[in-house]
Amino acid sequence: MDFYDPIIIEYNKRKEQYEKRPEAQFCIEAINPICGDAFKIYMDMEGAMITRASFSGYGCAVSKAASSLLVEKLEGVKRLVAVQIIEEYLTMVESGEVNKTGNKIWNAFVLAGKYPGRRKCATLSWDALRDFLKKRD
């Protein structure tokens, strides 16, 4: 059995959202000093709408794939909806319960989070962005 689900490998390799954008309106840092994972999430907003999102950085396959999934889910979404999406994902990963609706992508991250030490990898960027968005109330 492979250590990583093919979905995680796919998201780890994706380049669509991997882009350094120092000119972005917001730059949110997600750093785990224990393992060295470090990402920046670049985001632009018009009013409450997230109009563009990308990320850069380095880390294990799970943390990079989770960052890729995160920014994919953000573009074109209002801030409050983004917070709801993030909370749903974090609840699933932290509980270890796979999504009953059959969301194969999210379930791959839930299962990765069951490995010791991988839960933080699956939630690093998501936690950082949730905290940033909640402060924007």
Q: With both helix axes pointing from N to C terminus, report the angle between 61-74 and 6-13 in degrees, rounded to the nearest 10.
A: 70
Residue 65 and residue 80 in contact, taking contact as beta carbons nearer than 8 Å:
no
Residue 96 and residue 123 in contact, taking contact as beta carbons nearer than 8 Å:
no
In tens, the pLDDT along 65-91 reads 889 989 988 889 999 999 998 998 888
What are the residue ranges of helices labelled H in the chain? 6-13, 61-74, 79-95, 104-112, 119-135
C-alpha closest to that of 121 among 60, 74, 34: 60
Assigned fold of 6-135: Sufe protein. Chain: A (3.90.1010)
List the domain boundaries for the chain: 6-135
The structure's pTM equals 0.85
Average the pLDDT over 107-124 and give the result. Answer: 71
Looking at the predicted structure, is the pLDDT value of residue 109 above 70?
no
